[in-house]
């Protein structure tokens, strides 16, 4: 999936204005990089188009242990959107990631996240 298709898909799936899709995407990926181990963030980035790789640079080798509410809060602050918009953006972003990367890679990502992320995107455990 190329970058434009990725953003268009996020825009269709998130009930937010199209101009918010890119900031939400970047904020979600930056927050995901904090929540995943560096190795997993790099594996995920390897399957994405170039503009989506940069936000996945993990700041530390270890994953930060925080849940979905803190994840949404960080995305909200980074993207400059309301918490409700952030939650919908995260949902749209993760479901688009599920379509953009291999099934195995998406399972590896979900394995490092609390179960409420699976429920958010409707992914099987």
For the chain, domain boundaries: 3-14+21-121
Compute the average pLDDT of residues 81-101.
Answer: 95
Is residue 6 within 8 A of residue 25, CB to CB? The reply is yes
pLDDT in tens, 51-86: 999 999 988 889 999 999 999 999 999 999 999 999
Angle between helices 3-13 and 21-35 (to 10 degrees): 100
Q: Model confidence over 4-13: pLDDT tens digits?
A: 999 999 999 9
- Level-2 CATH architecture, domain 3-14+21-121: Orthogonal Bundle (1.10)
Interval 42-53 mean pLDDT: 95
């Amino acid at each position: 999936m190329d970058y434009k298709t990725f953003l268009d898909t996020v825009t269709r799936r998130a009930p937010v204005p199209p101009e918010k899709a890119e900031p939400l995407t970047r904020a979600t990926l930056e927050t995901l990089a904090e929540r995943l181990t560096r190795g997993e963030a790099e594996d995920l980035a390897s399957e994405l188009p170039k503009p989506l790789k940069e936000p996945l640079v993990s700041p530390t080798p270890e994953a930060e242990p925080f849940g979905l509410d803190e994840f949404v809060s960080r995305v909200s602050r980074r993207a400059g959107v309301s918490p409700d918009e952030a939650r919908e953006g995260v949902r749209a972003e993760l479901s688009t990631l599920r379509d953009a990367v291999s099934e195995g890679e998406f399972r590896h990502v979900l394995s490092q996240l609390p179960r409420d992320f699976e429920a958010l995107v409707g992914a099987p455990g």
